[in-house]
Chain A
Amino acid sequence: GENVEQHPSTLSVQEGDSAVIKCTYSDSASNYFPWYKQELGKRPQLIIDIRSNVGEKKDQRIAVTLNKTAKHFSLHITETQPEDSAVYFCAARLGDSSYKLIFGSGTRLLVRP
């Protein structure tokens, strides 16, 4: 069935270090992979996304990589700052006509000053 697995569930890094969050998906026809950031008590907000015809995308300190063969994608945050502390969600859009967006279970990132 439709499933997106996300690891780790919690991640603690020192300010300035890099953070990597990984997701795997089950539907090989999935074609769109966004990442959302949710600060405490706030709404999820899109931070970066990638389509299935692209292997990597970068936006300043944030990058996403996609391996379609292995059906996994990752979020990389470099030079982490305390304001990066939040819950991060990966998601995959199904490739069938439903275009349903399935979210991973979230990663709580803590950046220690």
Chain B
Amino acid sequence: DTAVSQTPKYLVTQMGNDKSIKCEQNLGHDTMYWYKQDSKKFLKIMFSYNNKELIINETVPNRFSPKSPDKAHLNLHINSLELGDSAVYFCASSQGIGEKLFFGSGTQLSVL
């Protein structure tokens, strides 16, 4: 049983397209996150939800929109994809806010 699962694992798309990444956790955690890992491996937080409420919204283009239908799911929708959006996107969850994060396996997004 995968604790934090995200789909798809790979996403290759053209500039200008809209795409979504889905994330689900079965740990019963209250908090979920999206992190972006660039080509230099730097991990940067994008969003965080606690019990479906947005609690962290970093300086991210408004082309990125998270949605949390319930506390076990946090999806990421990206509009008008750009070359610079190419990265690995990690979903994560935790019981306490900002501690003991469990990461999903990542989605490698390539924008051509």
Q: Total number of A-B contacts with CB less than 8 angstroms?
A: 52
Within 8 A of B (CB), among A8-62: 32, 34, 38, 42-46, 49
Contacts of A87 in B (CB 8 A): 41
Chain B interface extent, by class: 20 to 34
A66 → chain B closest CB, angstroms: 15
B42 (CB) vs chain A CBs: closest residue: A105
B41 touching A99, Cβ below 8 Å: no
B100 touching A101, Cβ below 8 Å: no
Whether A101 touches B106, Cβ cut-off 8 Å, given contacts A32-B98, A34-B99, A49-B99, is: no
| Dominant SS among interface residues on chain B | loop
**Chain B interfacial positions (CB closer than 8 Å to A):** 40-45, 48, 55-56, 90, 97-106
B55 touching A98, Cβ below 8 Å: yes
**Chain A interfacial positions (CB closer than 8 Å to B):** 32, 34, 38, 42-46, 49, 87, 89, 93-94, 98-103, 105-106
| Dominant SS among interface residues on chain A | strand
Contacts of B40 in A (CB 8 A): 105
B55 touching A106, Cβ below 8 Å: no
A45 touching B103, Cβ below 8 Å: yes
